[in-house]
Structure 1
């Protein structure tokens, strides 16, 4: 705990010192960017401000729809201003003198590139990490070690996120995260998050947005925050696309993107797929337990599990700019993922009395098999209307996600020396998950410095599944078990409304955004003994942001969140693939509630370095956690199992997590750049009937990238996660590292890459403990992570650069020949055009 507070105090002291020596700059630079040939405004052009003589910008902005821009908070001094837009030559204004007040540099004229491109030969350099007032954005375009990988590989590098060896994701130490794709929910995440994230190829991902303090416009779901995965698309006129293929010793994947845009209409189509090649993971489990007579039982299990995974996605996205004020977009996507595991385990159960005399000793060989398959079809239609008043807009969104999931397991125990008949169980658990949402959002700028947002949302979620179980009879035949065959229906409706406002106060000294979201939840279930009352939650949010000067800012935020249990948490299906370790869901779970505070500081430097520090305090009540109970004998609907660890999710007391996240990016030389992300946190769990547990944990990573010139570059990425004590044991530590190289050719349209993961060790050893009333257990897993791979990428297409002149026409209609600007318009907080989540 002490290191957290020391770092926290350091942040506060450092910010105070910087604020004293760097008074708020009051200068401004304004102007207008136009096309030099037709005099039309160039909207969304990039304007950058450099200190005279510097090679890296320290401030910048995009032009508005009229080509105008104003860059404020500029200290007195001499500057260089540049304007860029895809398809135009850069324009530069030298020696701009700024004092207190506004400096207008008038009209900046951009000249079109003299020759039309025959292929995709212009690439905009996007910073790897962008820090914005409400979120951090990770752009993996230059992520060499993730090439040929999947979403999990990229998430390992995202600031404030930790990923363990099994693909479980935490945001600032909290695993209850609301995942979105392109700003929209998907049932693909409900059944198996790790499988879903392992089925999205890294080549398909444009960026990942991390939102730790979501505003009132977002759903209140997710006590940890929101992670929004933005898939690649294109807003460029013409036909273009890309192909990515990779092969390796552990994983193979490929993706194909095609973008077509003509005038006001655009289509994006994609297909991607991946497969994790079969891997074998040895494991050992040793458990000591006592029964009510103080007899001791030692269960020793040793075996291995073969595991493989596969998945694919495809989709179509349509955009239609009906008029200059009316946009329509629609999409349909299909996702599939699955896994298959099977293994053989040698088991020995030795029971002794309190005096040490042997009571029984049995050995058996257990064969097990499990399969999971999930599909999701996502449909969305969105309408956006803007008005003559800048910033005023209306958004309407309909989404529907249809998920089909199926899980089956089988296990059979054959006892040595035929001391008793073989036992076994086989079951299937097909299910459906359907979620439909309708949202309306409206933004109204009351004045230049004051904006109001309001909206509402309906969210209907229905889960329906069944369980069919068969038991191995003494004569060796699997027979249906009526007592363990049942169905489970769960219906949840959420009615939400929000109101928020943002303002710049005291002559732009302080930016404030606050809001309140109200969500009323109605839940029905037909499962025996389950009765969940309706509940209402008020979720306030408040953000204060102050720009100390042009290079540094601070932010203080508060938000209240909830975590409703999802499909996997609720499903009462009993996984008995191991009769000594049974797990199940809990349909009686209540939502977890969280109050999150965060203090952030960000500073950039002339040479391009950047540091971001975020101190956080999170308190959860009705905390949803897994808990293991030991039973010497356990009756499951008429079948008795012995020596059982029974794992289920519960609402357990409260949890407080205090910590600090430090992200830094440093261009050491023109060829070498370093990035690091460090998280230090202390977690205190208070659970009725148990001793309060306090545990310190940290995560460190380092990313080094070097450019050899001639379009050849290399990268190293290393990650260390410490172990952490929980309420029932200790989670294991692990070390993971990647090496990668990439060579680009054909004018950067094609590339070949080589990757190696943990090349000097076949396994990562995972040692953990679990304990509770009457038992103590040690676990050892050897997780195969070593891999070598090769990836190929090719971009194709023809680009045409035409400016959209709709703002200068009195009569717009769907037959005009204008198009969207070739760069993407900066999106709102949701990454999806102002939609309510």
Structure 2
């Protein structure tokens, strides 16, 4: 018994000594210090301190500096090489430091790395591309031709993206593209009305993500893919910002400011712009009719669009701790626009002029848009484990008074028609979403949900002028209401991992429930009378539900550090929007109207994308081929309604319909070449072929066509440090079942000079140098032919002045390093 007790005591003593020894071996010490800029004597936030174990038994340990440049790191006892690093600064190393107790390294000064200085300047001044598993990221850089321009002008210079003369945005020639702002649907995107991008300044953009193979994380909307516009949010220490003033002819005047105040707990940022612009445009139509009163009508139209208003985006980011933050933002836009069009129409019978009319339409638009959002992000560690949550509400109210007067000018002078229209549109949007990311070594798991509800109400009142009583009266048959709701509920999950050193994959599945509800009604007509007045043979009231699974597969094979191959597959949906399903006809013309189609169903598409990227020191080469097959694809057709206006002119209706299939195959190639510090070249080329099949009301609207578009940009530094840049865009001819569009070529030119170093820059810009950005079309239908030319905006000259304060080049380079190290508010993580 005594022997057993002795053995137990001996064993306990051995265990106790072993645990004590192990505890001593695992004991930590504290290392402190401060990192500052050697030249400016200011603290460097988010500089990294790394402890590399000399024995190789432990993984590297470390931390980052705080707002005041201080660090406080707990490290296991041992011998280490200590590295202090900050991007664009020289690295400082303390070799073979034995840590047996707490150590204060004092003040550590870092100087600018001259080699890195050159690299960062070049990177900042050119558009760069990064390839991820599910997207390409284009950092806009200092594109001179967009100075003083709008978001649309900036998008013109993104490969794969094209913007037509009316401002419609396409991706690889397909207009069914989803626009996101900072990764979310936004009132800043104008509730799917992209004309707002003709008003927001291009300088507000930091980068654009072209997502042609979206992962399950993203909304399945947009059969062409997604454009995610990331707006700037400065994070430099203290108060800093810029003021941008633009003066242009035709009138294009604006002032915008970017302000940022950063403390150790808060980051307050604001972008505000005030603008006053006039955009003259023109159109010409030569229509020949196979039946009706007139054989030919030639219409010459002039536009004068006035845009004036203010928009602001204010945000406050509060750092709860080193890992989490909460951000509240408010966006507001107040606009008072006015569109005036003047049309002269000559009407012919047997090649002889029969009559002429003059039509004046003055349409106003007073708009107020508000959006409030709250974002929470929690980085559980520095390895990508995080949770984000977003709550967002948007409201938009538009009043559109419209006055139309038409007079006959030949052979007599008399009033033909006068109308007053009062239209009000109100839209509400609610968004709630959460995303969770859990990395495990090379693997990464993600899951999340999104609830997105939208509702819109349109009230439309038309008053006609009575030529006998000389008074306006309510036209009960043309006054209506239309309510539309779109609700989307989504769940998703995805998983990514690496197989070996070179192959990675990302697999995802998204479940979406879509509810589409429409209700057309009148205060004066029965439902049957309303349907007859609209002129459709189906009920404009609907309640549709769609439940769909949307899988995604993204693969990447890394041939080398700067060379890879990607392959992606995804299924997408294209939901009809308000204008496309509003059954009431437009009033912009008595003979050419646009009318939505409440019977329109969503389109679904399957897309495959194969890409290749190769980077050299001065050249980046990027290419891809893609294939897409879409069912129930949208197609806009023109039809003779069978009705005529009061003058006996046939009324032509432009309406969207569902066709059977739309098959598209294409390829694109892009090059970014920076041979010297003075010369930078950027070019891209996209060619695609599509084939559409389908019948509507017994008419075959199938067609096939090949088209292409390309762009080329060159920037060169002249003597006296004057930068010159040209951007050329060529869009090849296109056609659908009824219309052929001619090719379009346009050229932009800009000159820029830094007047006060790091403070004031002046840029002179000519957009559309040859005044050639016009769409020429020829349309053939069963009842008419139409030869037309349309120019949304004439050639424009602008002078832009940008004044920056507390934003020297060195500050901006340091900020690049902080952003790379901070990790709190980066966009959604990518595997």
Within 5 A, what are the aligned runs for 1:263-342?
Answer: 263-279=264-280, 281-291=281-291, 297-337=295-335, 339-342=337-340
- Deviation at 1:390? 2.8
Name the structure 2 match of 1:232.
232
Deviations 1:249-296 (A, max 9, x none): 1322221011111112110022113332252x34321112234xx887
- Deviation at 1:541? 0.6
Q: 1:159 aligns to what SS in structure 2?
A: coil
Within 5 A, what are the aligned runs for 1:420-569?
Answer: 422-445=416-439, 447-475=440-468, 476-505=470-499, 507-527=500-520, 529=539, 530-569=541-580
Does residue 736 (structure 1) correspond to residue 775 (structure 2)? The answer is: no
Q: For the Cα contact (< 8 Å) 2:758–2:807, is it kept in 1?
A: no
Among candidates 675, 687, 694, match of residue 682 of structure 2: 675
Name the structure 2 match of 1:28.
none
Q: Distance in 2 between matches of 1:723 and 1:322?
A: 55
Q: Distance in 2 between matches of 1:790 and 1:321?
A: 40
Name the structure 1 match of 2:143.
143
Does residue 791 (structure 1) correspond to residue 785 (structure 2)? The answer is: no
Name the structure 1 match of 2:174.
174
Q: 1:167 aligns to what SS in structure 2?
A: coil
- Deviation at 1:221? 1.0
676-685 or 763-772: bigger deviation: 763-772
Q: For the Cα contact (< 8 Å) 1:195–1:338, is it kept in 2?
A: no
Q: Distance in 1 between matches of 2:790 and 2:725?
A: 29
Q: 1:323 aligns to what SS in structure 2?
A: coil
Among candidates 759, 777, 780, match of residue 771 of structure 1: 780
Q: Distance in 2 between matches of 1:170 and 1:146?
A: 19
Q: For the Cα contact (< 8 Å) 2:496–2:507, is it kept in 1?
A: yes
Q: Distance in 1 between matches of 2:826 and 2:456?
A: 28
- Deviation at 1:801? 12
Deviations 1:684-709 (A, max 9, x none): 11122315311111112111111236
Name the structure 2 match of 1:152.
152
- Deviation at 1:633? 1.5
Q: For the Cα contact (< 8 Å) 2:90–2:111, is it kept in 1?
A: no
Q: For the Cα contact (< 8 Å) 1:375–1:404, is it kept in 2?
A: yes
Q: Distance in 2 between matches of 1:732 and 1:382?
A: 46
Q: 2:148 aligns to what SS in structure 1?
A: coil
Name the structure 1 match of 2:536.
none
Name the structure 1 match of 2:207.
207
CA shift in 2, pair 1:745/1:304, >3 Å: closer
Q: 2:189 aligns to what SS in structure 1?
A: helix
Among candidates 802, 810, 822, match of residue 818 of structure 2: 822
Name the structure 1 match of 2:263.
262
CA shift in 2, pair 1:700/1:522, >3 Å: closer
Q: Distance in 1 between matches of 2:816 and 2:796?
A: 43
TM-score, structure 1 as length reference? 0.80
Q: 1:600 aligns to what SS in structure 2?
A: strand
Q: For the Cα contact (< 8 Å) 1:43–1:64, is it kept in 2?
A: no
Does residue 727 (structure 1) correspond to residue 737 (structure 2)? The answer is: yes
- Deviation at 1:110? 7.8
Name the structure 2 match of 1:700.
710
Q: For the Cα contact (< 8 Å) 1:771–1:777, is it kept in 2?
A: yes
Q: 1:534 aligns to what SS in structure 2?
A: strand
- Deviation at 1:341? 2.3
Q: For the Cα contact (< 8 Å) 2:236–2:262, is it kept in 1?
A: yes
Q: For the Cα contact (< 8 Å) 2:46–2:821, is it kept in 1?
A: no
TM-score, structure 2 as length reference? 0.80
Q: Distance in 1 between matches of 2:774 and 2:545?
A: 45
Q: For the Cα contact (< 8 Å) 1:425–1:576, is it kept in 2?
A: no
CA shift in 2, pair 1:572/1:240, >3 Å: same
Q: Distance in 1 between matches of 2:573 and 2:247?
A: 41
Name the structure 1 match of 2:117.
none
Q: Distance in 1 between matches of 2:232 and 2:49?
A: 21
Deviations 1:377-404 (A, max 9, x none): 1111011122247322111110111111
CA shift in 2, pair 1:432/1:687, >3 Å: same
Q: Distance in 2 between matches of 1:161 and 1:615?
A: 15
What's the C-alpha RMSD, in Å, of the aligned pairs?
A: 3.5
Within 5 A, what are the aligned runs for 1:708-723?
Answer: 708=718, 711-723=721-733
Name the structure 1 match of 2:371.
378
CA shift in 2, pair 1:441/1:781, >3 Å: closer
Deviations 1:108-156 (A, max 9, x none): x984359xxxxxxx97943512222122222233101111111111111
CA shift in 2, pair 1:161/1:762, >3 Å: closer
CA shift in 2, pair 1:278/1:543, >3 Å: closer
Name the structure 1 match of 2:220.
220
Q: 1:142 aligns to what SS in structure 2?
A: coil
Within 5 A, what are the aligned runs for 1:11-26?
Answer: none
Q: Distance in 2 between matches of 1:600 and 1:64?
A: 38
Which of the pair is proportionally richer in helix? 2
- Deviation at 1:615? 1.0
Deviations 1:491-521 (A, max 9, x none): 222111001001101x132100010000001
CA shift in 2, pair 1:35/1:833, >3 Å: farther
Deviations 1:283-337 (A, max 9, x none): 321112234xx88732222232222333432021111111123211110111244
Q: Distance in 2 between matches of 1:369 and 1:386?
A: 53
Q: Distance in 2 between matches of 1:184 and 1:748?
A: 34
- Deviation at 1:798? 7.7
- Deviation at 1:35? 9.8
CA shift in 2, pair 1:732/1:83, >3 Å: farther
Give aligned pairs, total: 721
Q: Distance in 1 between matches of 2:108 and 2:729?
A: 45
Q: Distance in 2 between matches of 1:552 and 1:151?
A: 31
Q: Distance in 1 between matches of 2:803 and 2:510?
A: 45
- Deviation at 1:410? 3.1
CA shift in 2, pair 1:337/1:763, >3 Å: farther
Does residue 665 (structure 1) correspond to residue 675 (structure 2)? The answer is: no
Q: 2:542 aligns to what SS in structure 1?
A: coil
CA shift in 2, pair 1:374/1:649, >3 Å: farther
Q: For the Cα contact (< 8 Å) 2:481–2:520, is it kept in 1?
A: yes
- RCO higher in structure (CA 8 A, sep ≥6): 1
Q: Distance in 2 between matches of 1:663 and 1:820?
A: 26
Q: Distance in 2 between matches of 1:594 and 1:44?
A: 46
543-552 or 322-331: bigger deviation: 322-331
Q: Distance in 2 between matches of 1:820 and 1:380?
A: 26
Q: 1:823 aligns to what SS in structure 2?
A: helix
Q: 2:818 aligns to what SS in structure 1?
A: coil
Q: 1:165 aligns to what SS in structure 2?
A: coil
The gaps in structure 2 that reach 5 residues or longer are: 1-30, 37-42, 51-59, 66-82, 94-104, 113-119, 522-538
CA shift in 2, pair 1:459/1:584, >3 Å: same
Q: Distance in 2 between matches of 1:665 and 1:599?
A: 20
CA shift in 2, pair 1:511/1:203, >3 Å: same
Name the structure 2 match of 1:131.
130
- Deviation at 1:551? 2.0
- Deviation at 1:654? 1.9
Name the structure 2 match of 1:12.
none
Q: Distance in 2 between matches of 1:41 and 1:302?
A: 63
